[in-house]
Every structure is written in structure tokens, then in C-alpha cells.
């Protein structure tokens, strides 16, 4: 991106700074399609940032770029944790530098991603054994504390197959916090859960954010959950940032009649937030803009 600024503003304190990020994939004809296009935003210490948007809008691709699983073609992803003397662009980092950054964050995957051959306690102990210098005699104490935080201590000796969906999410969250991370990434934490269990997981996210003073990035399309946990929200549309702002800004758009909104972007956000079948996201035939974008590139 010659001539464009791809470093964060020095005046802003951030934990993550994403600058002019672009990710391309080939379509069925082999042509490059920009799944992420000029993505720019910051994540600030201690906040919960919710990333939302329709299916195919680029949420999961963005998450995979943030955690270093995918490499973008353009832009930068800067981390500035408490132990870093200066920001690190993980796209320029050596493998050992990237691994050090990864130790500063935890990830709750959509399925919980527990190892089926291990008990709940063994799953949580694994990051401590692999990536820390904690004495073996202390590991069991840490595991107990992490299980208590997510209300899973009675299930410590169960196998993942014996757990409900909500219990797997709780156990996955305990494992994600095993190394006391500064940043937590959540991939669809409410997916596949009933409304009561979903609300309980949301309360747990809020509680852990306060108790552990972590910064959270939550990828979700569940609007009830998003509005419960978010400090700020990012709306993606066809690989671009449509709007970023405090939760109250999105509540205003959600609760305002479409004809009274300022522009087409706000009407698109309104349709998405309210789950309406008619609006800028869909055409007269009912085909979503996401579907058309994916099909046509």
C-alpha cells in the first residue's frame, strides 16, 4: 500500500491496532476477491469490542488474521501489551516474536475445541504445561482457580463428551484464561446455545472482563448477546468497516425508524440489527447482498 499510512496513531493508547488490512481469496474462476478491504480500527485496554455482520461479511477471516492464523496481503496488525516496550506488527514479526504475542491472548473457539481424550482439568492444565514455567505442584491449584471462575469445578474430572454445550464453552473459557492473558478472543460464544445458557455465558464474559482486567474482542452475529456485552461495536459489510462506535450509537440506529435515519449505511445497519427481511441488505428477489457478493465477487 505505497504512500498510505499503515501504522497506528502514536497519541492513542491501544492494545490492538488494525491498519488498512486487506485479505484476498480466489473465487471459483481463480480471480482475487477482497474478503477484507481497508479494515482500520483500534481496540483499547479493558474494553469489550464486538465485531458483527452477516454471514460472509469477513468476521471469521478478520479474527483469523488477528490471531495470526491467516496472513493478509496488505496492511498491519499492531499489538501493544503491558510487557511490550513498543508496538509489534505481527505481520513483520519473527515466529518466536509471534509466539510471545500469542501467549498474551486466549481464544474461546465456537465449539470450545476441547481435546476429547483429556478430562476438563487436563485440558485446562495443557497451556500451563506447554507454555509456562509453573511448577507442577502449582498447576493443579491454578486449574482449580480457573474452574471456579467459570463455575465448572464439579466437572473437573469429566470428559468433554459428558458435557453440555454450555459446559464446553465454560471449560473452553477456563482454558483460554489459564495463562492469565491480557486479551481474550471469542468466536461466536453464543452459537448453538439456548437463550438462557447464552445469557449466562454473556454474564461470564462481563464478569471475567472486570475481574481479570482483560481486553475482549468478540465475533458474533447474535444481537441480544452483542448488546449485552459490548462497550463498542464494529459492523462489517462485504469486507469493509461500515461503522464503528459505542454501543449507544448502534442502539440509536436500531431503535430509530428507517425513514428517519441519516443515510443508506444506517438503514443497512438498522435492517441487520432488527433482523428485517426487507431493506438495503436484500434485493426484490430476497437475495442478500452478501450472497450476491460471494457469487459474483
pLDDT tens-digit readout, 107-165: 998 766 889 999 999 999 998 888 777 788 899 999 999 999 999 999 999 999 999 98
Q: How far is CA 20 from CA 9, 72, 190, 256, in A?
A: 13, 10, 29, 31
Give the burial string for 257-290 (b: 16+ CB within 10 Å, else e). Answer: ebeebeeeebbbbbbbbeeeeebbbbeeeeeebb
Domains and CATH numbers, the chain: 47-68+103-289 (3.40.50.300)
Strand 32-43 and strand 183-187: pairing?
unpaired
Cell (9 digits) for 194? 439456548
Cell 452483542 found at: 226
Question: Are the beta carbons of 182 and 104 closer than 8 angstroms?
Answer: yes
Alpha helices per DSSP H over 150-263: 165-176, 195-212, 223-229, 247-255
Cα separation, 243 vs 269, in Å, equals 9
Is the pTM above the cut of 0.85? yes
Model confidence at 296, in pLDDT bands (50, 70, 90)? very low
Mean of the per-residue pLDDT values for the chain? Answer: 87
pLDDT tens-digit readout, 14-44: 999 999 999 999 888 888 889 999 999 999 9
Fill in the DSSP letter of residue 260: G
Question: Does the pLDDT at position 102 exceed 70?
Answer: yes
Largest pairwise CA distance in the chain: 64
Amino acid at each position: 500500500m505505497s504512500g498510505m499510512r499503515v501504522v497506528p496513531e502514536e497519541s492513542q493508547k491501544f492494545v490492538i491496532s488494525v491498519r488498512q488490512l486487506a485479505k484476498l481469496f480466489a473465487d471459483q474462476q481463480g480471480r482475487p476477491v477482497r474478503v477484507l478491504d481497508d479494515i482500520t480500527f483500534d481496540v483499547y485496554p479493558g474494553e469489550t469490542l464486538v465485531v458483527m455482520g452477516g454471514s460472509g461479511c469477513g468476521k471469521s477471516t478478520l479474527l483469523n488474521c488477528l490471531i495470526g492464523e491467516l496472513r493478509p496481503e496488505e496492511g498491519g496488525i499492531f499489538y501493544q501489551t503491558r510487557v511490550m516496550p513498543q508496538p509489534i506488527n505481527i505481520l513483520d514479526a519473527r515466529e518466536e516474536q509471534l509466539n510471545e504475542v500469542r501467549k498474551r491472548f486466549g481464544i474461546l473457539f465456537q465449539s470450545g475445541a476441547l481435546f476429547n481424550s483429556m478430562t476438563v482439568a487436563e485440558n485446562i492444565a495443557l497451556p500451563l504445561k506447554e507454555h509456562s514455567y509453573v511448577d507442577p505442584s502449582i498447576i493443579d491449584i491454578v486449574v482449580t482457580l480457573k474452574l471456579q471462575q467459570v463455575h465448572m469445578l464439579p466437572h473437573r474430572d469429566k470428559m468433554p463428551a459428558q458435557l453440555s454445550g454450555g459446559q464446553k464453552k465454560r471449560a473452553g473459557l477456563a482454558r483460554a484464561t489459564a495463562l492469565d492473558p491480557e486479551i481474550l478472543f471469542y468466536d461466536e460464544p453464543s452459537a448453538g446455545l439456548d437463550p438462557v445458557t447464552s445469557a449466562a455465558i454473556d454474564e461470564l464474559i462481563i464478569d471475567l472482563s472486570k475481574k481479570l482486567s482483560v481486553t475482549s474482542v468478540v465475533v458474533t452475529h447474535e444481537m441480544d448477546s452483542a448488546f449485552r456485552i459490548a462497550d463498542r461495536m464494529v459492523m462489517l459489510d462485504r469486507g469493509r468497516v461500515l461503522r464503528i462506535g459505542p454501543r449507544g450509537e448502534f442502539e440509536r440506529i436500531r431503535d430509530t425508524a428507517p425513514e428517519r435515519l441519516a443515510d443508506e449505511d444506517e438503514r443497512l445497519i438498522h435492517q441487520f440489527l432488527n433482523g428485517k427481511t426487507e431493506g438495503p441488505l436484500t434485493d426484490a428477489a430476497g437475495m442478500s447482498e452478501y450472497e450476491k457478493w460471494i457469487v459474483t465477487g
